[in-house]
Structure 1
Amino acid sequence: MNTAKTARGRQHKPTRSEVAAAWARLRDAASEGSIQASALLIALAENKPVIAMESPTA
């Protein structure tokens, strides 16, 4: 019995090459003097959130 394969959905996560390219663009922007790119690199390296989310009940 031959069953048809179900169609796969869209890819949700970026590929490794896309992630590597994004890091390279971020490093390039930071080396060119972008304050935002530098701050983002620091936040990502320290594993801290870039945007503080406030609780609506706080």
Structure 2
Amino acid sequence: MALGDKITNAAEDLTGKAKEAAGKATGNESLEAEGRTDQAAASVKQTGEDVKEVFR
């Protein structure tokens, strides 16, 4: 199931990048911040997956 989690995390990161870019393009600071938050959440989740891999 780790592969599925990695794919989900990558998708969340890409969604966050898209939101951040859209926010910058439209001047919507809220959307830009939401995108950065999504990216940070994906990064934290990916780090957790990496730690699990080390202990397997």
TM-score by length of 1: 0.37
Q: Which has the higher helix share?
A: 2
Larger-gyration structure (1/2): 1
Which structure has more relative contact order (CA 8 Å, sep 6+)? It is 2
TM-score by length of 2: 0.38
